[in-house]
Chains A and B, each alone.
Chain A
Amino acid sequence: EAQVTQNPRYLITVTGKKLTVTCSQNMNHEYMSWYRQDPGLGLRQIYYSMNVEVTDKGDVPEGYKVSRKEKRNFPLILESPSPNQTSLYFCASSSSGAYNEQFFGPGTRLTVL
């Protein structure tokens, strides 16, 4: 089954404790991206990757890191989480950039205390 998976689905952590949210897709998509969803603000892009070893900042990259060492995986790293990073995070992938349908993962609800 073609899909985008994220782990964990739910996470409660404390300020400053490094964490990684994994994202994996099995559709051989070149383009992957991370979004955060906050009430009243819609979906805002954090980082995106056009292909392996190619990443770029989205609209809200501060406090986040990403890497793209393999085509299928695109982890999101919070080196020192803060309460303002409490949010719902979605990973997405597409066969050819942002100009086509984005397939979203199930989401990760993160709470930083």
Chain B
Amino acid sequence: GENVEQHPSTLSVQEGDSAVIKCTYSDSASNYFPWYKQELGKRPQLIIDIRSNVGEKKDQRIAVTLNKTAKHFSLHITETQPEDSAVYFCALYTGTASKLTFGTGTRLQVTL
């Protein structure tokens, strides 16, 4: 199936700093790119998504950018807060099969 590489696997930032997580993919037919947040012991939940006809989308402190030419998309969290500490997963949908392929996750730790 489609591969998606996610980096870094762990990220530690100080409260108030920004965090960036990047995912790269290979199939140019990919057209939907969601990001999920999983708090410790909880289920994954969608926090933001972007479709291939848009280059950037923002929702308060969270933004996602998509570079279709370079085949990568990134999650940006500004003014990080302790409650942002979680595992973040990127995912992508290609359309050749009706399924999502997830990245391996990034554990974000926001320290005081």
Contacts and interface: CB of A to CB of B under 8 A. Distances in A.
Interface of A: 31, 33, 35, 40-45, 48, 50, 56, 58-59, 90, 97-99, 101-102, 104-107
B97 interface: yes
A98 B44 CA distance: 15
B99 A45 contact: yes
Interface of B: 1, 6, 9, 32, 34, 36, 42-46, 49, 89, 91, 93, 95, 97-105
Contact of A44 (B42, B44, B93, B102): B102
Contact of A43 (B32, B45, B98, B102): B102
B55 to A, nearest CB: 19
A108 B99 CA distance: 21
A43 B92 CA distance: 12
24 contacts: A33-B99, A35-B102, A42-B6, A42-B89, A42-B102, A42-B103, A42-B105, A43-B91, A43-B102, A45-B100, A45-B101, A56-B97, A56-B98, A58-B99, A97-B98, A98-B32, A98-B99, A98-B100, A99-B32, A99-B95, A99-B98, A101-B46, A102-B46, A107-B43
Contact of B101 (A41, A59, A97): A59
A59 B99 CA distance: 9
B102 A104 contact: no
A54 to B, nearest CB: 10
B99 A105 contact: no
Given A99-B32, A102-B46, 12 more contacts: A40-B104, A42-B89, A48-B98, A50-B98, A59-B1, A97-B98, A98-B99, A99-B93, A101-B34, A101-B46, A101-B49, A102-B34
Nearest to A60: B1
A98 B49 CA distance: 12
A98 B98 contact: yes
Nearest to B1: A59
